[in-house]
Protein backbone atom coordinates (compact mmCIF):
# COMPACT_ATOMS: atom_id res chain seq x y z
CA UNK A 1 0.00 0.00 0.00
CA UNK A 2 1.18 3.50 -0.81
CA UNK A 3 2.33 5.55 2.15
CA UNK A 4 1.28 8.87 0.63
CA UNK A 5 -1.72 10.71 2.00
CA UNK A 6 -1.71 13.55 -0.50
CA UNK A 7 -0.54 13.70 -4.10
CA UNK A 8 -1.11 16.87 -6.08
CA UNK A 9 -0.14 16.43 -9.74
CA UNK A 10 0.25 19.20 -12.34
CA UNK A 11 -2.42 21.39 -10.81
CA UNK A 12 -3.39 24.53 -12.71
CA UNK A 13 -5.87 27.08 -11.37
CA UNK A 14 -6.86 30.36 -12.94
CA UNK A 15 -8.90 33.42 -12.27
CA UNK A 16 -12.05 33.62 -14.39
CA UNK A 17 -14.50 36.47 -14.89
CA UNK A 18 -17.36 35.57 -17.21
CA UNK A 19 -15.75 34.04 -20.27
CA UNK A 20 -12.48 35.76 -19.69
CA UNK A 21 -9.56 33.86 -18.25
CA UNK A 22 -7.18 35.81 -16.08
CA UNK A 23 -3.69 35.06 -14.88
CA UNK A 24 -2.70 31.62 -13.65
CA UNK A 25 -3.05 31.49 -9.85
CA UNK A 26 -1.45 28.01 -9.65
CA UNK A 27 0.80 26.77 -12.41
CA UNK A 28 1.75 23.12 -12.73
CA UNK A 29 1.84 22.51 -8.98
CA UNK A 30 2.88 19.01 -7.87
CA UNK A 31 3.58 17.92 -4.33
CA UNK A 32 3.38 14.82 -2.18
CA UNK A 33 2.83 14.42 1.55
CA UNK A 34 3.66 11.05 3.12
CA UNK A 35 1.97 9.38 6.07
CA UNK A 36 2.89 10.96 9.38
CA UNK A 37 5.27 13.59 7.95
CA UNK A 38 5.18 17.35 8.30
CA UNK A 39 5.66 18.97 4.87
CA UNK A 40 6.32 22.70 4.71
CA UNK A 41 4.80 24.85 1.98
CA UNK A 42 6.60 28.16 2.01
CA UNK A 43 6.47 31.26 -0.16
CA UNK A 44 5.87 35.00 -0.15
CA UNK A 45 2.49 36.62 0.39
CA UNK A 46 0.28 36.12 -2.66
CA UNK A 47 2.34 33.16 -3.92
CA UNK A 48 -0.65 30.81 -3.89
CA UNK A 49 -0.15 28.87 -0.63
CA UNK A 50 -3.71 29.30 0.61
CA UNK A 51 -5.07 28.56 -2.85
CA UNK A 52 -3.36 25.16 -2.70
CA UNK A 53 -4.85 24.56 0.76
CA UNK A 54 -8.28 25.63 -0.45
CA UNK A 55 -8.02 23.53 -3.62
CA UNK A 56 -7.36 20.44 -1.48
CA UNK A 57 -10.34 21.21 0.75
CA UNK A 58 -12.53 22.17 -2.23
CA UNK A 59 -13.21 25.66 -0.93
CA UNK A 60 -11.68 27.84 -3.64
CA UNK A 61 -13.31 31.22 -4.28
CA UNK A 62 -15.95 30.98 -7.05
CA UNK A 63 -13.83 33.05 -9.41
CA UNK A 64 -10.91 30.61 -9.29
CA UNK A 65 -11.23 27.45 -11.33
CA UNK A 66 -9.05 24.39 -11.53
CA UNK A 67 -8.29 23.99 -15.23
CA UNK A 68 -6.02 20.95 -15.10
CA UNK A 69 -4.36 18.43 -12.79
CA UNK A 70 -5.43 16.24 -9.93
CA UNK A 71 -5.47 16.11 -6.12
CA UNK A 72 -5.46 12.60 -4.71
CA UNK A 73 -6.09 12.53 -0.99
CA UNK A 74 -6.22 9.13 0.74
CA UNK A 75 -7.13 7.46 -2.54
CA UNK A 76 -9.93 9.91 -3.39
CA UNK A 77 -9.90 12.41 -6.23
CA UNK A 78 -10.70 15.77 -4.65
CA UNK A 79 -11.04 17.76 -7.88
CA UNK A 80 -14.69 17.72 -8.86
CA UNK A 81 -15.78 15.75 -5.79
CA UNK A 82 -19.49 16.15 -4.99
CA UNK A 83 -20.22 18.40 -2.01
CA UNK A 84 -22.05 15.61 -0.18
CA UNK A 85 -18.95 13.39 -0.38
CA UNK A 86 -16.69 16.26 0.56
CA UNK A 87 -18.70 16.98 3.72
CA UNK A 88 -18.09 13.41 4.90
CA UNK A 89 -14.34 13.81 4.53
CA UNK A 90 -13.68 17.32 5.85
CA UNK A 91 -13.19 17.37 9.61
CA UNK A 92 -12.87 13.60 9.64
CA UNK A 93 -10.12 12.45 7.24
CA UNK A 94 -8.72 15.91 6.49
CA UNK A 95 -8.96 18.86 8.82
CA UNK A 96 -7.84 22.44 8.83
CA UNK A 97 -6.09 24.61 11.38
CA UNK A 98 -6.77 28.14 10.14
CA UNK A 99 -4.75 31.33 10.36
CA UNK A 100 -7.17 33.37 12.40
CA UNK A 101 -8.55 31.48 15.41
CA UNK A 102 -11.16 34.14 16.21
CA UNK A 103 -13.00 34.21 12.89
CA UNK A 104 -12.76 30.41 12.61
CA UNK A 105 -14.91 29.97 15.72
CA UNK A 106 -18.59 30.80 15.86
CA UNK A 107 -18.88 33.76 18.29
CA UNK A 108 -22.41 32.79 19.34
CA UNK A 109 -21.72 29.22 20.45
CA UNK A 110 -19.86 27.81 23.42
CA UNK A 111 -16.47 26.12 22.88
CA UNK A 112 -17.88 22.78 24.09
CA UNK A 113 -20.71 22.78 21.54
CA UNK A 114 -18.31 23.60 18.70
CA UNK A 115 -15.85 20.90 19.69
CA UNK A 116 -18.41 18.17 20.24
CA UNK A 117 -20.31 18.91 16.98
CA UNK A 118 -17.54 17.47 14.86
CA UNK A 119 -17.37 14.21 16.83
CA UNK A 120 -21.14 13.81 16.99
CA UNK A 121 -21.46 14.41 13.26
CA UNK A 122 -18.57 12.30 11.97
CA UNK A 123 -18.24 9.60 14.61
CA UNK A 124 -21.91 9.43 15.64
CA UNK A 125 -21.00 9.82 19.30
CA UNK A 126 -23.50 10.72 22.03
CA UNK A 127 -23.35 14.17 23.62
CA UNK A 128 -21.82 12.69 26.81
CA UNK A 129 -19.14 10.70 25.00
CA UNK A 130 -18.18 13.67 22.79
CA UNK A 131 -18.06 15.90 25.92
CA UNK A 132 -15.61 13.52 27.64
CA UNK A 133 -13.48 13.34 24.50
CA UNK A 134 -13.44 17.17 24.23
CA UNK A 135 -12.27 17.38 27.86
CA UNK A 136 -9.47 14.90 27.17
CA UNK A 137 -8.45 16.83 24.05
CA UNK A 138 -8.30 20.15 25.93
CA UNK A 139 -6.08 18.49 28.53
CA UNK A 140 -3.88 17.19 25.73
CA UNK A 141 -3.36 20.72 24.39
CA UNK A 142 -2.49 21.87 27.95
CA UNK A 143 -5.56 23.96 28.67
CA UNK A 144 -6.13 24.24 32.39
CA UNK A 145 -9.62 24.09 33.86
CA UNK A 146 -10.89 22.43 30.70
CA UNK A 147 -14.40 21.89 32.08
CA UNK A 148 -14.87 25.67 32.53
CA UNK A 149 -13.36 26.43 29.10
CA UNK A 150 -15.93 24.16 27.42
CA UNK A 151 -18.65 26.45 28.81
CA UNK A 152 -17.02 29.67 27.56
CA UNK A 153 -17.57 31.63 24.35
CA UNK A 154 -14.66 32.29 21.94
CA UNK A 155 -14.31 35.98 22.90
CA UNK A 156 -13.66 34.93 26.52
CA UNK A 157 -10.43 33.13 25.54
CA UNK A 158 -7.03 34.55 24.57
CA UNK A 159 -5.78 34.13 20.98
CA UNK A 160 -3.35 31.41 22.04
CA UNK A 161 -6.09 29.49 23.88
CA UNK A 162 -8.42 29.77 20.88
CA UNK A 163 -5.71 28.32 18.64
CA UNK A 164 -5.20 25.47 21.16
CA UNK A 165 -8.94 24.77 20.96
CA UNK A 166 -8.77 24.67 17.15
CA UNK A 167 -5.74 22.37 17.21
CA UNK A 168 -7.57 20.05 19.63
CA UNK A 169 -10.64 20.08 17.36
CA UNK A 170 -8.55 19.38 14.26
CA UNK A 171 -7.25 16.18 15.90
CA UNK A 172 -10.66 15.15 17.31
CA UNK A 173 -11.57 12.57 14.65
CA UNK A 174 -7.98 11.31 14.20
CA UNK A 175 -7.65 12.64 10.61
CA UNK A 176 -4.88 11.32 8.35
CA UNK A 177 -4.03 14.81 7.07
CA UNK A 178 -4.15 18.22 8.71
CA UNK A 179 -3.66 21.40 6.73
CA UNK A 180 -2.31 24.16 8.94
CA UNK A 181 -2.52 27.45 7.03
CA UNK A 182 -0.25 29.98 8.76
CA UNK A 183 -1.41 28.67 12.18
CA UNK A 184 0.64 31.17 14.16
CA UNK A 185 0.62 34.33 12.04
CA UNK A 186 -2.12 36.01 14.10
CA UNK A 187 -0.32 35.36 17.41
CA UNK A 188 2.50 37.16 19.18
CA UNK A 189 6.01 35.75 19.06
CA UNK A 190 6.16 33.94 22.40
CA UNK A 191 2.75 32.33 21.85
CA UNK A 192 3.79 31.35 18.30
CA UNK A 193 6.63 29.26 19.70
CA UNK A 194 4.35 27.49 22.19
CA UNK A 195 1.77 26.73 19.50
CA UNK A 196 4.38 25.32 17.11
CA UNK A 197 5.79 23.15 19.90
CA UNK A 198 2.27 21.93 20.66
CA UNK A 199 1.57 21.17 17.01
CA UNK A 200 4.68 19.00 16.81
CA UNK A 201 3.88 17.27 20.09
CA UNK A 202 0.35 16.45 18.88
CA UNK A 203 1.66 15.29 15.52
CA UNK A 204 4.16 12.93 17.12
CA UNK A 205 1.52 11.51 19.43
CA UNK A 206 -1.14 11.00 16.77
CA UNK A 207 1.11 10.24 13.78
CA UNK A 208 -0.85 12.65 11.56
CA UNK A 209 0.55 14.02 8.31
CA UNK A 210 0.59 17.82 8.29
CA UNK A 211 0.90 20.28 5.42
CA UNK A 212 2.31 23.33 7.18
CA UNK A 213 1.69 26.49 5.19
CA UNK A 214 3.87 29.43 6.16
CA UNK A 215 5.87 32.34 4.79
CA UNK A 216 8.56 31.65 7.39
CA UNK A 217 11.43 29.49 6.21
CA UNK A 218 12.85 29.43 9.75
CA UNK A 219 9.67 27.72 11.00
CA UNK A 220 9.85 25.13 8.21
CA UNK A 221 13.52 24.44 8.90
CA UNK A 222 12.67 23.68 12.54
CA UNK A 223 9.43 21.78 12.08
CA UNK A 224 9.52 19.88 8.78
CA UNK A 225 11.48 17.13 7.11
CA UNK A 226 10.42 17.99 3.55
CA UNK A 227 9.46 21.22 1.90
CA UNK A 228 8.07 22.86 -1.22
CA UNK A 229 8.90 26.45 -2.09
CA UNK A 230 6.23 28.29 -4.09
CA UNK A 231 6.75 31.51 -5.99
CA UNK A 232 4.12 33.24 -8.17
CA UNK A 233 1.95 30.11 -8.29
CA UNK A 234 4.78 27.72 -9.20
CA UNK A 235 6.74 25.27 -7.10
CA UNK A 236 10.33 26.34 -7.62
CA UNK A 237 12.11 24.02 -5.21
CA UNK A 238 11.18 20.80 -3.45
CA UNK A 239 12.90 18.16 -1.36
CA UNK A 240 14.35 17.36 2.04
CA UNK A 241 14.72 20.39 4.30
CA UNK A 242 18.30 19.43 5.23
CA UNK A 243 19.34 19.44 1.53
CA UNK A 244 17.58 22.68 0.68
CA UNK A 245 18.88 24.53 3.72
CA UNK A 246 22.47 23.60 2.88
CA UNK A 247 22.19 23.85 -0.92
CA UNK A 248 19.25 26.00 -2.08
CA UNK A 249 19.20 25.66 -5.87
CA UNK A 250 16.66 28.23 -6.90
CA UNK A 251 17.43 31.94 -6.75
CA UNK A 252 14.09 32.59 -5.05
CA UNK A 253 14.86 30.13 -2.23
CA UNK A 254 18.22 31.81 -1.71
CA UNK A 255 16.44 35.17 -1.62
CA UNK A 256 13.99 33.79 0.98
CA UNK A 257 16.90 32.64 3.14
CA UNK A 258 18.57 36.02 2.80
CA UNK A 259 15.32 37.67 3.93
CA UNK A 260 14.94 35.45 7.02
CA UNK A 261 16.01 37.42 10.10
CA UNK A 262 18.86 35.93 12.08
CA UNK A 263 19.87 37.00 15.54
CA UNK A 264 23.56 36.66 14.69
CA UNK A 265 23.29 39.15 11.82
CA UNK A 266 22.60 42.87 11.98
CA UNK A 267 19.13 43.94 10.84
CA UNK A 268 20.47 46.02 7.96
CA UNK A 269 21.80 42.84 6.32
CA UNK A 270 18.21 41.82 5.47
CA UNK A 271 17.31 41.87 1.80
CA UNK A 272 13.76 42.06 0.46
CA UNK A 273 12.44 39.31 -1.81
CA UNK A 274 11.53 40.61 -5.26
CA UNK A 275 7.99 39.50 -6.12
CA UNK A 276 4.73 40.46 -7.79
CA UNK A 277 3.65 42.70 -4.90
CA UNK A 278 6.94 44.56 -4.70
CA UNK A 279 7.00 44.98 -8.48
CA UNK A 280 3.41 46.22 -8.50
CA UNK A 281 4.14 48.77 -5.76
CA UNK A 282 7.27 49.93 -7.58
CA UNK A 283 5.27 50.40 -10.78
CA UNK A 284 2.57 52.35 -8.93
CA UNK A 285 5.22 54.53 -7.29
CA UNK A 286 6.84 55.19 -10.70
CA UNK A 287 3.47 56.13 -12.24
CA UNK A 288 2.80 58.45 -9.30
CA UNK A 289 6.22 60.06 -9.66
CA UNK A 290 5.67 60.57 -13.40
CA UNK A 291 2.25 62.13 -12.78
CA UNK A 292 3.70 64.42 -10.11
CA UNK A 293 6.57 65.45 -12.40
CA UNK A 294 3.99 66.24 -15.12
CA UNK A 295 2.05 68.49 -12.72
CA UNK A 296 5.02 70.54 -11.53
Ligand X SMILES: Nc1ncnc2c1ncn2[C@@H]1O[C@H](COP(=O)(O)OP(=O)(O)OP(=O)(O)O)[C@@H](O)[C@H]1O
Contacting positions for ligand X (CB under 6 A): 15, 25, 43, 45-51, 61, 63-64, 215
Phi-psi map region of 91: left, alpha, beta (phi>0 left; psi -120 to 50 alpha): left
Give CA 266 to chain center in angstroms: 30
Comparing C-alpha atoms, which of 111, 196, 128 is closest to residue 162? 111
203 touching Mg ion, by CB under 5 A: no
Of the candidate spans 35-43, 48-56, 85-93, 230-238, the one that interacts with Mg ion by CB under 5 A turns out to be 48-56
Residue 53 near residue 65, CB atoms below 8 Å: no
Q: Which residue sits closest to Mg ion, CB atoms considered?
A: 50
Nearer to ligand X, 43 or 154 (CB): 43
The verdict on 184 binding Mg ion (CB under 5 A) reads no
Cβ neighbours for 269, distance < 8 A, ≥ 6 positions apart: none
25 binds, among ligand X, Mg ion, none (CB under 5 to 8 A by kind): ligand X
Residue 211 CA to residue 53 CA, distance in Å, equals 9
**Sheet containing 94-97: which strands, arranged edge to edge?**
94-97, 177-181, 209-214, 38-43, 226-231, 234-240
Q: Which is nearer to ligand X, 159 or 275 (CB)?
A: 275
Q: How far is the CB of 175 from ligand X (least distance, A)?
A: 21
DSSP state string for 106-146:
-TTS-HHHHHHHHHHHHH---HHHHHHHHHHHHHHTT-SSH
Query: What is the total count of residues that contact Mg ion (CB under 5 A)?
Result: 1
How far is residue 39 CA from its own chain's centroid? 11
Report, in Å, the least distance between residue 77 CB and ligand X.
Answer: 22
Q: Which does 119 bind (CB under 5 to 8 A by kind): ligand X, Mg ion, none?
A: none
Q: Which is nearer to ligand X, 16 or 222 (CB)?
A: 16
Q: What is d(CA 278, CA 273) in angstroms, rounded to the nearest whole number? A: 8
Least distance in Å: CB of 282 to ligand X? 17
User: 6 or 149: whose CB is closer to ligand X?
Assistant: 6
CA distances from 247 to 217, 232, 254, 255 (A): 14, 22, 9, 13
CB nearer to Mg ion: give 137 or 187.
Answer: 187
- Residue 256, contacted partner among Mg ion, ligand X, none, CB below 5-8 A by kind: none
- Comparison of 112 and 233: residue with beta carbon closer to Mg ion: 233
The whole-angstrom separation of Cα 31 and Cα 56 is 12
Q: Given the DSSP bridges, would you call strands 20-34 and 4-17 parallel, antiparallel or unpaired?
A: antiparallel
Which partner, Mg ion, ligand X, none, binds residue 163 by CB below 5 to 8 Å per kind?
A: none
The correct pick among 50, 114, 208, 238 for binding Mg ion (CB under 5 A) is 50
CB closer to ligand X, 25 vs 157? 25
Judged by the rule CB under 5 A, the positions of this chain that interact with Mg ion are 50
Amino acid sequence: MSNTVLTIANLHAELRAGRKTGPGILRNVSLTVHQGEMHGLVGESGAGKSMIARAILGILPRSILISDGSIDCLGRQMVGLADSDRRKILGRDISLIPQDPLTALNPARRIGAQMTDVMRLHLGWSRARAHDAALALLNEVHIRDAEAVLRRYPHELSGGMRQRVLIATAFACEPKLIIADEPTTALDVTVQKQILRLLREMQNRHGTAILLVTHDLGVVAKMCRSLSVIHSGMIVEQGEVSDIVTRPEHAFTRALFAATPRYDRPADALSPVPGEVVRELEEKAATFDRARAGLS
